[in-house]
Amino acid sequence: MTDDPTAPEFAVVWPSGPIRTQEFTPAPRPDDWSGRTIAFVWDYIFRGDEMWEVIRAELTDRFPGVRFTGYDGFGNIHSTEEREVLAALPQRLRDRDVAAAVVGVAA
């Protein structure tokens, strides 16, 4: 703040804009993953394929009957076709009876 009593004062407005809110209702979570199918949805970067192999092995040890469905056939969520891939993705997951999706990798 200046000591100059003749300095002009400014009344200024906000440089941003209103948020366009989007409705959201969370999906229910299963209590247990035994016997359920977990999908891996991948952006084909940052060694997600290597991670998925380890994740599958670890979860198999912990949850009897857990099933997995990989990223083949889901499309690349980080590609030029991202919008088309996302539009089709929920049904593709439902067709495979997926209970939850592990999505990766951002790094």
CB of 64 to another protein, least distance (A): 15
The one among 34, 35, 47, 97 contacting another protein by CB under 8 A: 47
Nearby residues of 52 by Cβ (< 8 Å), 6 or more positions away: 40, 42, 70, 71, 102, 104
Q: Does 28 bind another protein (CB under 8 A)?
A: yes
Size of the site for another protein (CB under 8 A): 66
Site string for another protein, 88-107 (x = CB under 8 A): -xx--xx---xxxxxxxxxx
Q: Does 73 bind another protein (CB under 8 A)?
A: no
Do residues 70 and 96 touch, judged by C-beta distance below 8 A? no
Cα 26 from chain centre = 13
